[in-house]
């Protein structure tokens, strides 16, 4: 679990660095590029895949959480891995290092 958590931290630091670079270089106004990129077939494929990935991750978080309302924990996923990696990092502790608890949350069978 230590290697997994370390990987999450390294990945989060890398994506935050890329995000800060994008914000300082292009600012927030170039965010519209995401929508206009759908005119290019490969960019449309990548962006469409990314949107579906976000929806799948949101569904997973809503499924595994036991708090109400679960959807409020899933909605920030639109921020991408800047939100998702810390969520998973914290979830590794609430799962007590068990990958079945990490993946299934409240639906994991209790040991014993």
13 touches 20 (CB < 8 A): no
Percent share of the chain, pLDDT over 70: 92
- Run of H or E residues at 104: helix 99-104
Alpha carbon distance 46, 67 (integer Å): 33
In Å, how far are 14, 15, 22, 84, 110 from 9, measured between CA atoms? 9, 10, 20, 11, 28
Alpha carbon distance 112, 107 (integer Å): 15
Residue 31 has pLDDT above 80, yes or no: no
When pLDDT is cut at 50, 70 and 90, the band that residue 112 belongs to is very low
Which pTM value belongs to this model? 0.71
pLDDT at 83: 86
């Amino acid at each position: 679990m230590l290697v997994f958590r370390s990987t999450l931290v390294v990945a989060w630091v890398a994506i935050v660095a890329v995000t800060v670079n994008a914000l300082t270089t292009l600012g927030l106004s170039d965010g519209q590029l995401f929508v206009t990129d759908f005119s290019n077939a490969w960019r449309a494929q990548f962006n469409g895949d990314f949107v579906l990935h976000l929806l799948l991750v949101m569904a997973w978080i809503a499924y595994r959480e036991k708090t109400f309302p679960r959807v409020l924990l899933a909605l920030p996923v639109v921020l991408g891995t800047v939100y998702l990696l810390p969520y998973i990092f914290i979830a590794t502790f609430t799962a007590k290092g068990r990958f079945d608890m990490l993946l299934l949350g409240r639906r994991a069978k209790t040991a014993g």
